[in-house]
Structure 1
Amino acid sequence: MTPKRIAPCDVVVTSVSPPRGPARGSCDVARTRVAGLTPGHRIAETPVPKGAFVTNTSTGPSPEPVHSSSDPFGFFGLTYDDVLLLPNATDVIPADADPGTRLTRNIRLNIPIVSAAMDTVTEAPLAIAMARQGGMGIIHRNLSIEDQVRHVDTVKRSESGMIKDPVTIGPDATLADLDELCAQYRVSGLPVVAEDMTLLGIITNRDTRFIPREEWATRTVDTAMTRMPLITAQEGVSRAETIRLFSQNRVEKLPLVDDAGRLTGLITIKDFDKAEQYPDAAKDDEGRLRVGGAVGFFGDGWERAMALVEAGVDALVVDTANGHTHGVLDMIARLKKDKAAAHVDVIGGQAATYAGAKAIVDAGADAVKVGVGPGSICTTRVVAGVGVPQITAIYEAAKATRPAGVPLIADGGLQHSGDIGKALVAGADSVMLGSLLAGTAESPGDLVFYQGKQFKTYRGMGSLGAMQTRNGTRSFSKDRYFQADVPDEDKLIPEGIEGQVPFRGPVASVVHQLVGGLRQTMFYTGASTVADLKENGRFVRITAAGLKESHPHDIMMTVEAPNYRSR
């Protein structure tokens, strides 16, 4: 028999004999992928020097589906707990490791983490916090179009090098109107303009501080604003000149006007402060924080997508439970051909196989999202009996994405910071997190107390709570699981659960631990960049005993570490 190299178990097959009993050992099962063998065949092999039972996924086998019709059980699946990364010679200092990566063809992030498009995970507050840390948030679509657009707009307006279309107010508006706008956009004041956008003045909380609130409903803006002339500049003013104007005139907002005195933009001192406070923030070409938005392909999917594009979204995520369908693929192709959306990258999902990822790539997607059923709140694999363990799903999908130069997002199933490095070595370029971020202060889940401890509510988008209309709130999540045509909500088939996760504090602290863990991964494996890690990282499979040994054992833990919780 001619020797043959197989993966993900680097051994050379030299002979095969019939079964003589049950297979033993984790690698015995994996070897059944060769030539349609079934568990129980004995395999004689020649170990690969210095690397037996190790896989290098950067090269991997030829991009062929490993499942064979002649061997329906030959596809062996691995997940995060089934593998570890091998240490390597290193001179990398963790603090110097660069965790930057590509999210899509055209979007680069400073950390390989995005937050999931879930209604208990990502709305504007968490998306802002994620972008400031160098990642990105995907605003969920279990909202009306107007509300989802508002969240995207809030992220985009939260900070900017220059606000090109600042929120303004007219002189005849009331102070109550002003207060409502300032609360909505989280600003302390607004420029006051005429109908033709001529700048009339500016009004801030300094102007209204000593006006009794009971007068706000009737008092108009023009009675309290600071009138022209104001300190202004023209569009294109340099950073140095802007700082000089702020410092010399002790102002915090600098309106930009044209030669006719019409407002064309606004610069605030807070944006300069935030740029220094968050140097790694993920920003677009205009200096605004990056944000994504989830859309479907059914019903209002196209209208929602166009509204998000108009709002300035950086990426659209065609977000369904199975992306290997005509509806999803057609939506991706249509978005990529539409001139209005040409500047917005499109992410397609979900995929869990080579064929699924290849179809999404061929449709024109700028990134592929991988994961069917790995999430902590997902029941797809037990309700439908469908899915692929996540490491194998990433590995198989990467055979389609890597040759095409399309980034891969590993979505779901991550429990610890070490899983991020495993996902990257398996073929991902970034990871999408749900449960690890659901317990943060910025997530929209409710804060609850249980047995003296703080928790936040967390649910799957396939749960009944997410798919049903409750308390007068309409659900927009049913079509994600292809159940939009179910007229009776009592007849829905849920693919997720509702629960709660421990409160974990601010996003910044959680992301610090996650990225710190990734930097440690890069140190141990000798990788100074994510590209190095993907190229040179190698796996070793472990047994159940190896997994037990990997976690703290034979001790009663009295103080939990910030990056580890007892199982």
Structure 2
Amino acid sequence: MTNQIEIGRGKRGRMAYALDDVSVVPARRTRDPRDVSLQWQIDAFRFDMPVIGAPMDSVMSPATAIALGRLGGLGVLNLEGLWTRHEDPEPLLAEVAAMPDEPGSPAVTRRLQEIYSAPVQAELITRRLAEIREAGVTVAGSLTPQHTVEFYRTVLDAGVDLFVIRGTTVSAEHVSETQEPLDLKQFIYELDVPVIVGGAAGYTPALHLMRTGAAGVLVGFGGGASTTTRRSLGIRVPMATAIADIAEARRDYMDESGGRYVHVIADGGVGTSGDLVKALAMGADAVMLGAALARAEEAPGGGWHWGAEAAHHDLPRGHRTRVGQVAPLEELLWGPGHHTDGTSNLLGALKRAVSTSGYTELKDFQKVEVIVNPVSRS
């Protein structure tokens, strides 16, 4: 079977689906939501929920990473963000939040580029990660592939538990005629900590990333609601299809490797509880949340959301997006919810969806029936 369609006489392409295009089908047998376990484990680290805070300055500060860890999730600090470029980033965060509400404004973009032009300081990486470690939660930090070789030793010496290599698109084989590329397979092999790497949006790239020894693969291009990568580069793979493709790569890699399991983590496009449910139903083991957590009252963005792409020095491809402040972080995640649009009590909604489908474990929930409904978008 194939879902390829003819675009024109000289080009064919696969039909692909976004999370909005699919829905979970309830089962004949339902379960009590209180019986549902949302626990997720990667390597030796166990969490009470399959939620990772995206390494974006509008989402994760040392304080919010600690708060998310205490609530049962995993916060990942952006080690190339304001917290590692500036001794006191609070005034700059306040300035970004106070900028005019003008999406795509060249003046706003120029100021973001200026703020992020300060160099990353190794001593600040050490200090920020130490702050998280002292709180007694799992410590995770993120670097882009371009800066991994330069700063990874600092990150490891600081005592990180999980290391994230996150970029718009990350490949296992990067070819360059001007600089020595990062050999992911050799690099991950030599590390003593689990590595999560991405983004990837297709079967073959993800399979190659799994072969590097990564503990998890990020599905998507990062940035989510704040990115304009589709407009700038013409690159986009709808998330439902991307997750399903990479879940298949995970299954094939298990056969190839004799049973080694690599976690599939949806990264981008998961803005509401319904998106979270459908990402797991399509085969994800966990989700990396950006905009959904940027709505927390404690989020450093103050109701605004942006990614590193928005401040790229050469090719900015992201907006500073108004997401508002919905609720305190605990209420946003665990409830009780006071919003009807899927922006609060994300995990309560997940429990109810899993139980309505007849399951009590997230791994089993990946088997749930789904339907395609691209017309309704409801």
TM-score by length of 1: 0.53
- SS of the aligned residue for 1:419 comes to helix
User: Which residue of 2 is the match for residue 291 of structure 1?
Assistant: 139
User: Which residue of 2 is the match for residue 38 of structure 1?
Assistant: 6
Q: CA deviation at 1:415?
A: 2.3
8 Å CA contact 2:167–2:222 kept in 1: the answer is no
1:146 to 106, 110, 123: 123
Measured against aligned partners, the alpha-carbon deviations of 1:324-355 in whole angstroms (never above 9, x if no partner) come to: 253499453233232xx31x100110100001
Q: CA deviation at 1:110?
A: 1.6
8 Å CA contact 2:149–2:182 kept in 1: the answer is no
User: Which residue of 1 is the match for residue 88 of structure 2?
Assistant: none
Unaligned residue ranges in structure 1 (runs of 5+): 1-5, 7-30, 41-69, 159-287, 448-455, 468-488, 551-567
Q: What is the one-letter code of the residue matched to 1:335?
A: F
Per the alignment, do residues 360 and 325 of structure 1 end up closer, same or farther by CA in structure 2, a change over 3 Å counting?
closer
Aligned structure 1 segments of 4 or more residues deviating by more than 4 angstroms: none
Measured against aligned partners, the alpha-carbon deviations of 1:399-428 in whole angstroms (never above 9, x if no partner) come to: 212333100100010122021121112111
- SS of the aligned residue for 1:519 comes to helix
8 Å CA contact 1:111–1:135 kept in 2: the answer is yes
Cα distance between partner residues in 2 of 1:364 and 1:126: 29
User: Which residue of 2 is the match for residue 392 of structure 1?
Assistant: 241
Cα distance between partner residues in 1 of 2:43 and 2:14: 30
State whether structure 2 residue 11 is matched by structure 1 residue 155: no
8 Å CA contact 1:369–1:409 kept in 2: the answer is yes
Q: What is the one-letter code of the residue matched to 1:378?
A: T
Cα distance between partner residues in 2 of 1:89 and 1:291: 41
1:415 to 262, 265, 271: 271
User: Which residue of 2 is the match for residue 76 of structure 1?
Assistant: 15
User: Which residue of 2 is the match for residue 94 of structure 1?
Assistant: 33
Per the alignment, do residues 401 and 374 of structure 1 end up closer, same or farther by CA in structure 2, a change over 3 Å counting?
farther
User: Which residue of 1 is the match for residue 173 of structure 2?
Assistant: 326
1:137 to 63, 75, 85: 75
Per the alignment, do residues 308 and 373 of structure 1 end up closer, same or farther by CA in structure 2, a change over 3 Å counting?
closer
Cα distance between partner residues in 1 of 2:221 and 2:35: 35
Aligned length: 317
Q: What is the one-letter code of the residue matched to 1:89?
A: R
Give matches, 1:19-418, under 5 Å. 32-33=3-4, 38=6, 72-102=11-41, 104-141=42-79, 142=81, 143=84, 144=120, 145-158=122-135, 288-298=136-146, 300-324=147-171, 326-327=173-174, 330-338=182-190, 341-342=191-192, 344-372=193-221, 375-403=224-252, 404=254, 405-418=261-274
User: Which residue of 1 is the match for residue 332 of structure 2?
Assistant: 510
Cα distance between partner residues in 2 of 1:422 and 1:529: 15
Cα distance between partner residues in 2 of 1:388 and 1:410: 12
Q: CA deviation at 1:153?
A: 1.1
User: Which residue of 2 is the match for residue 190 of structure 1?
Assistant: none
Q: Give the greater-gyration-radius structure (CA).
A: 1
Q: What is the one-letter code of the residue matched to 1:297?
A: P
- SS of the aligned residue for 1:127 comes to helix
Cα distance between partner residues in 1 of 2:183 and 2:166: 11
2:310 to 463, 470, 473: 463
Q: What is the one-letter code of the residue matched to 1:293?
A: G
Measured against aligned partners, the alpha-carbon deviations of 1:358-383 in whole angstroms (never above 9, x if no partner) come to: 11111111110010267111111111
Cα distance between partner residues in 1 of 2:288 and 2:242: 14
Cα distance between partner residues in 1 of 2:225 and 2:272: 13
User: Which residue of 1 is the match for residue 363 of structure 2?
Assistant: 531
8 Å CA contact 1:379–1:497 kept in 2: the answer is yes
Q: Which moved more, 1:85-94 or 1:512-521?
A: 85-94
Q: CA deviation at 1:312?
A: 1.7
Higher RCO (CA-CA < 8 Å; seq separation 6+): 2
Cα distance between partner residues in 2 of 1:384 and 1:390: 17
Q: Quick check: which one's helix share is greater?
A: 2
Q: What is the one-letter code of the residue matched to 1:157?
A: E
State whether structure 2 residue 248 is matched by structure 1 residue 429: no
Per the alignment, do residues 157 and 385 of structure 1 end up closer, same or farther by CA in structure 2, a change over 3 Å counting?
same
Measured against aligned partners, the alpha-carbon deviations of 1:252-299 in whole angstroms (never above 9, x if no partner) come to: xxxxxxxxxxxxxxxxxxxxxxxxxxxxxxxxxxxx31121002333x
- SS of the aligned residue for 1:511 comes to helix
